Amino acid sequence: MFSLAESNVVDVFWRRVEQSPDKPAVLYKTDGQFRTVKWSEHGAVVEKLAAALIKHGIMAGDKVGILCQNRPHWTWADLSILSAQAVTVPIYPTLAASEVSFLVTHSDVVAVFVENDRQLEKLIESGSGIPDKLKLVILIEGVPPATTGDATFKILAWQDFLSAGEAFLQTDRELVLARRRSIDPDTIATIVYTSGTTGVPKGAIISHSNIYAVLAAMSQLVDYHEDDLALSFLPLSHVYERVGGQFLAVYLGVPFAYAESMEKVPDNLMELKPTVLNAVPRFYEKAYARVQGQIRHMPPAQQAFIRWAISIGRRATKQKMEAKVEPALLNRLYRAELRVADRIVFRRIRERFGGRLRMMTSGAAPLSNDVHIFFEAIGMPIIEGYGLTETCAPLSCNTLKDNKFRSVGKPLEGVQVKLAEDGELLVKGPNVFLGYYKNEEATNAAFDDGWFKTGDIAQIDENGYIYITDRKKDIIITAGGKHVAPQFIESLFKNDPLVAHVVAYGDRRKYITALITLNHDALLQFAKSKSIIYSDIHELFQNPTVRKEVERIVHDKNQSLARFQRIKKFAILETEFTIEANDLTPTLKVKRKAVTQKYQAILDGMYESEDLEAQQQEQSVEA
């Protein structure tokens, strides 16, 4: 491991370059093939970019944005900004022009790395809406346009910028090295704006020591091997993938491969055969639904055998997780059956994911227990963790050796947790952010006597494991005064292949209602199995057989709920939730406030009889 004197991300990166110059650092696809970049090559690009930033007047502490999809250029830009002692401001590439303008303006960005013409247009479109502080744009892909409208910033092509940095190193290398060496633990590394399921984004100020504390703690928990390969497809604009993926890979010297896109992940898994990946619950839930859908289309005899194998795996996994049977006895009980199940069924499923995945992490939202057990049963373990932007991502995590289902693990080394009187999880530690940029009011509101308020309701068991039960602000209080946790209701539907999303609603109302979106692929399969005739998929959303099937699903899930928690009415939406439509965050969590506002008329319609009854009662009282 590294020197104890190290305390910032830049030292970690350059030590890795020095120690492992000829080993693979990153992999990315170009011209139809994955290309491997060695650590020495990786460092050379970062050094040129850092030099170019300094040459073009970027000072220590200046804010520099990155508006780009995942690709090696994102990492090169990030590490060069940090090496120039500047501050990285990630900007989600899915944001609209007005949102990009807000982040660039609020963060005082002076330069931005922009992926292509489409992303550049967001800056140009904003025109005079972006202040004069933005002086420089580096265009990663394409040729700078001849005109930029009302915008006053200078645009340079990526290759020209690299060349400028290379020339600067010939004459002023010591200046570049001095900037790098002047970084201390308290230096601000990044301002990350919360994607947020509600409200205006806030910029969390994160120092080098915040990031380093997480890396040092995580390195003690995760068991990496020399032949490991990490596949990256979650947005690097989010701290989960940036810290737990990109920076942790640098810290441990693990090669970091960039997926071509979210849609190409299944293909890239087969091509690269990674051993490690970070994902969100929605990824695992969709993969699980896809496997179940494929099984349903097999001949009955084959289906029966596969389901037998999976049931054996599930039973053994449940008993192991619940500690009902000693591991040695468990092996004797199921050894023969599991050997057959693994050879004929589990191995083939694992091969669909590349065949080498030995550790997968899940964060950003609760993971369905059924899905978790399925992957554990087939030999693809998932370790669930928990964290926020403000805690520099993971503040707690399970491990492969100590993996407690339904929990998000124990706190990382150095992290303290406790519960407030109302059950809110409070956190203190070296990973907790410094505050919100230019928002003292929000910063003060985020802390209680030095403890960061996560906004999540939790439980902590006698062994220190944390269980997240709901978001504090999302709690529904019905008209009858009952407290309802919407995420608990919604989580019941996560393992159903037909249902994509459920949004429970009912604050200050007499009963709970829900908005439901359907998985379009599963919907088409269902229509085929029921011989439903249709000319367009939108007809299926109005089909009585489809409606009846969703009613059956809702009825079944309601049985495990108290009466006041049950979904009384629901509406099926014809469109799936997407990031582009502002329904989901970049980590695929539902933006509850945005969705309920968008479909408010539909939600209100499910309470029309309630409102009419209340109106009649008021009139009766007045009479």
Query: Does 419 map to a domain?
Result: no
Of residues 67 and 7, more confidently modeled: 67
Residue type, 307: R
Tens-place pLDDT, residues 89-145: 999 998 888 888 889 999 999 999 999 999 999 988 766 567 778 999 999 999 988
pLDDT of residue 2: 38
**Domain extent at residue 526:** 475-622
Torsion over CA: 611, 617, 621, 623 (sign): positive
pLDDT of residue 459: 94
Which residue among 272, 305, 335 closes a domain? 272
Torsion over CA: 147, 117, 194, 575 (sign): positive
Query: Does 376 map to a domain?
Result: no
| CATH number, domain containing residue 115 | 3.40.50.12780
Listed residue (50, 32, 338, 340) closest to 181, CA to CA: 50
pLDDT of residue 578: 87
Query: Does 358 map to a domain?
Result: no
Tens-place pLDDT, residues 594-607: 899 899 999 999 99
| CATH number, domain containing residue 493 | 3.30.300.30
Q: What percent of the chain has pLDDT over 90?
A: 58
Tens-place pLDDT, residues 278-289: 998 888 988 888
Give the pLDDT band of residue 609 (cuts 50, 70, 90). Answer: low
110 beta partners: none
pLDDT of residue 435: 96
Query: Does 281 map to a domain?
Result: no
Of residues 10 and 327, more confidently modeled: 10
What mean pLDDT comes out for the span 476-482? 76
pLDDT of residue 550: 95
pLDDT of residue 619: 45
Q: How many residues does the chain have?
A: 623
Query: Does 296 map to a domain?
Result: no
CB 290 within 8 A of CB 266: no
Query: Does 122 map to a domain?
Result: yes
Task: State the total domains in the chain.
Answer: 2
Q: Are strands 499-505 and 512-518 parallel, antiparallel or unpaired?
A: antiparallel
CA distance 437 to 81: 18
> 198 pLDDT exceeds 60?
no
CA distance 163 to 197: 41
Dump the DSSP string for 508-577.
Answer: TSSSEEEEEEE-HHHHHHHHHHTT---SSHHHHTT-HHHHHHHHHHHHHHHTTS-GGGSEEEEEEESS--
Tens-place pLDDT, residues 50-89: 999 999 999 999 999 999 999 999 999 999 999 999 999 9
> What's this model's pTM, rounded to 2 decimal places?
0.81
pLDDT of residue 617: 44
Query: Does 553 map to a domain?
Result: yes
Say if residue 45 is exposed, middle or buried (CB neighbours under 10 Å; 0-12, 13-18, 19+): buried
> 315 pLDDT exceeds 90?
no
What mean pLDDT comes out for the span 218-225? 86
